[in-house]
Structure 1
Amino acid sequence: MKCKILRNLESKAEKTSTIDKTRAAVKDLHSRIRVAIHRIDSISKRIEELRDRELQPQLEELIEGLNRMWEVMHECHKLQFQIMSASYNNSHARITMHSELRRQITSYLENELHFLSSSFTKWIEAQKSYLEAINGWIHKCVPLQQKSFKRKRRPQSELLIQYGPPIYATCDVWLKKIATLPVKDVVDSIKSLASDTARFLPYKDKNQGNGADSNIGGEPDG
């Protein structure tokens, strides 16, 4: 705008003082713009350093931690399954306990399964939201320039994933992997197990306060 005013003044041969004043304002504005560009460039470089030197290693560390967590959980669940299978197949392993204690344990297990189902869903959603936020932020960095105008333009996101820093590919692959997880199947299985567990609650003891002993895993009381 200032440049346009200056050109108009010069073309109309206005007073020298007016032109000089406008020219000084234009130079001052130009200097401010250069300073602002320099600051923006410095901030952009700092953001890139944070992205590549701090955020990327932290994401890699998080991925390794999640891998270790799932490996440990797999081993724990496998051991639990082996113990349960051995107990089920051993006809002499009959554990008796007071019906009230059985009711409390069964009810506690049912509640924990419902809590696990809810927590698992929230955990996956939180992980997805976290990655989407990071992915959205890193894509606001300086865009890559197209090398050729003859070829069909490719989406900037594809170029960043293929040619940009590793963090773009990391987030892209991670988000795609999350999208393929059978979250609903897992949640439905946990809920189904909770429902099956509830069937073993000693309703007769629960409703009437019967003190007879019962076997864990036995048939539901009539």
Structure 2
Amino acid sequence: MLEATRLHYHSNFADNRGHINHSERVMRVITWNRSFRGLPNVDDGKDDFDSEEHETHATVLDKLLAWEKKLYDEVKAGEIMKFEYQRKVAMLNKQKKRGTNTDALEKAKAAVSHLHTRYIVDMQSMDSTVLEINRLRDQQLYPKLVQLVEGMAKMWETMRIHHESQSKIVMALRAVDLSQSPKETSDHHHERTIQLWAVVQEWHSQFCKLIDNQKGYIKALNYWLKLNLIPIESNLKEKVSSPPRAQNPPIQALLHAWYDHLDALPDDVARTAIGNFAAVINAIMVHQEEEMKLKQRCEETRKELARRTRQFEDWYNKYMQRKTPDELDPERAEDNPHNDVVADRQFLVETMRKRLEEEEQAYQRQCIQVREKSLTNLKSRLPELFKAMSDVALACSEMYRILRSIADRLPQNPSESSS
């Protein structure tokens, strides 16, 4: 509906993107005359840009922006002309007081009259621009907002159903027997944990953007509407006829209610729950890394023990081959000083073996702790997470249901709101 994945051109950036030339189309919007809309297209060229039935939310906003730019330029030019008119009137009054000759006086009066006529024409053009902005507001933007409310109501109701289903699933997982599952963290398992952490972080970021951007958009529309409903005053003694304006268009009630409901939305609980779950996954990831480091240390120590054992055996075999028969006599072995050398080398090997045993015990303890902490945290945090998501989805679904009922009660025909 919002075409979020589609790249849109917005006239707001027209001045900064000289390489994208859409000025011709934007000017067609600005100079668009509805009296020609009923005429057949003489060149049979298809152009969806002028077909309101194919308008998207983005193109409606872009049209409004183009017309607002036109109004801004007209108001600015009108202000300059008003000051010029007032200056000419002041000069004319001074000439009258000084008793200037008739020709100069008539010339000054003609200049004032000409400026006044131009000002009246410009004000009428400005009124036409305001009428077009209000027509776009009531006949294009308002229906798009009602459509968006209906779409959001369906989306959040679907979200609620899914999150409640997920909540039931994670509650049931508490009873699952995991005794036969792997006791150690594999590389594949650790990679999936890192992937899950990244996904949950992105989920948290996108959820916050979803809520914040909704609030920001509706706040911006409310601010724009407040300015849109302020009449443009001429401040001249001469009355400039302006068409009547609807002071309470349907879009006003919808936007005010929308803003109030969004402002009261209890989304902080869901934000915190997702953030906490990301922190839990990060903690599990850190514990797994410590476990894998201990495993790597055990493997290195095991290799070192095998190397030292092999060296000792090679040395011992060579050493024993050099022994004399007397040295090999058990009765004389106790007095042999060379026995200390063998004992020392054996002690180094046994020390490495004992170190390996201690590291393996530490690794096994870490495996158990990682498993227990992971299961405990997941069993507690997952239900908490999906309970929070179910609650916020329910609140959003209820909010848009209320907004839809408000829109249903408002007049759908703009002529009704201006009557």
Give the TM-score band, short-chain normalised.
Answer: 0.7 to 0.9
Deviation at 1:196?
2.4
Asked if the contact 1:99/1:205 (under 8 Å) is kept, the reply is no
Say yes or no: does 1:107 pair with 2:194: yes
Deviation at 1:2?
1.8
Name the residue aligned to 1:164. Answer: 248
Superposition map of 1:166-185 within 5 A: 166-185=250-269
Asked if the contact 1:6/1:19 (under 8 Å) is kept, the reply is yes
Aligned residue pairs, count:
202
Superposition map of 1:42-121 within 5 A: 42-91=128-177, 96=182, 99-121=186-208
Q: Structure 1 CA distance, aligned partners of 2:373 and 2:189?
A: 12
| TM-align CA RMSD | 2.9
Deviation at 1:85?
2.7
Superposition map of 1:1-222 within 5 A: 1-91=87-177, 96=182, 99-143=186-230, 164-201=248-285, 202-208=288-294, 218-220=371-373
TM-score (norm 2): 0.43
Deviates more, 1:135-144 or 1:17-26: 135-144
Deviation at 1:37?
0.6
Structure of larger gyration radius? 2
**Superposed CA offset, 1:150-188 (max 9, x none):** xxxxxxxxxx9xx61121122211111121122332211
Matched residue of 2:170: which SS?
helix
Q: Which runs of 5+ in 2 are unaligned?
A: 1-86, 232-245, 300-366, 375-419
The 3 A distance-change label for structure 1 pair 142 and 22 is: farther
Q: Structure 1 CA distance, aligned partners of 2:162 and 2:229?
A: 46
Asked if the contact 1:87/1:93 (under 8 Å) is kept, the reply is no
> Hey, which bits of structure 1, 4+ residues long, moved more than 4 A?
92-98, 208-211
How many percent of aligned residue pairs carry the same amino acid? 27
Matched residue of 2:119: which SS?
helix
Matched residue of 2:274: which SS?
helix
The 3 A distance-change label for structure 1 pair 206 and 164 is: farther
Asked if the contact 1:131/1:175 (under 8 Å) is kept, the reply is yes
Asked if the contact 1:135/1:171 (under 8 Å) is kept, the reply is yes
Q: Structure 1 CA distance, aligned partners of 2:151 and 2:181?
A: 38
Name the residue aligned to 2:74. Answer: none
Paired amino acid for 1:171? L
Q: Which runs of 5+ in 1 are unaligned?
A: 145-159
Deviation at 1:78?
1.8
